[in-house]
Amino acid sequence: MNTDIQAVADAPLKAGKLKRAILARLRHMARIAVYGFGPIRRRLERAPQGGTHWDHLFSETNFATYLSGTIEIELRNSIVSTLIRLNAPVMPSVLDVGCAGGSLVQALPTFRQYLGTDISQVAVNTAKQFCSPTVTFRVTDLDRFDLSQKWDVIVFNEVLYYLSVDDAATEFARYMAALSPDGCAIVSMKNDPKSHAIYRLIEKQFHLKRAVLWQPKDDGLNYKIEITQERPAFLVACFQHPTPIKDRL
């Protein structure tokens, strides 16, 4: 019997709405206190989980929804694809870091090469359904990937905040060194104080071309950004290399 992936993803929303809203707000406030102050943050941050951990999670029905098949993933992929189409060179080479189920490749504009990497073998096995002569996938840790090749587009969808804040900024800068001069890097992260801290460090080093803030809604029509763990808002940002001073004159 086929599993309704969207129904599984929506299941936590069916009960205890008020309690979930209160707990989410309290958690958010606590994380603001932690991630807003570097010395505290560095003492409390945990080491990232390895591939075996993610293999186990992705093998469970609830967490398999992170691989593909939900409206949230499809909407994010559409936003990322649009930012790439408007800001990257024509027929770009694309590196998708933390590719999960590889569904981004279906939404991309025309490209000449795509490589998706993920720490999880289960994720990459799922993604391999999209393999073609120009599409490949590889199991590797983010911090061990060889960046000897230049890329026109580098994508980080919901992956940087699994590192420490400082390591996330350091790794992003390392990958940006492999970005072509006219290329762009796309980062998507949920509305969380840790994400805010990472974005602050990245924006100090690189040029923000544009960003899109969005949130799925299931509680009526309103324009309010809600604090929620089940349906958070997401900020998708497009970064480029800083313009040399001589080119600004």
Residue 27 structure tokens: 């958690």
Q: Give me the pLDDT at residue 1, please.
A: 39
**Hey, is 97 helix, strand or coil?**
strand
If we measure between CA atoms, which residue out of 26, 38, 46, 44 comes closest to residue 162?
46
* Residue 249: pLDDT band with limits 50, 70, 90: very low
Strands 207-214 and 135-139: unpaired
Residue, of 43 and 97, whose pLDDT is higher: 97
**Regarding the domain with residue range 5-248, which homologous superfamily does it belong to in the CATH classification?**
Vaccinia Virus protein VP39 (3.40.50.150)
Among residues 142, 184, 174, 145, the alpha carbon closest in space to that of 48 is found at 142
pLDDT tens for each residue of 104-136: 999 999 999 999 999 999 999 999 999 999 999
Listed by start position, the domains of the chain span: 5-248
pTM value surpassing 0.85: yes
Size of the chain in residues: 249
pLDDT in tens, 202-223: 999 999 999 999 998 877 888 9
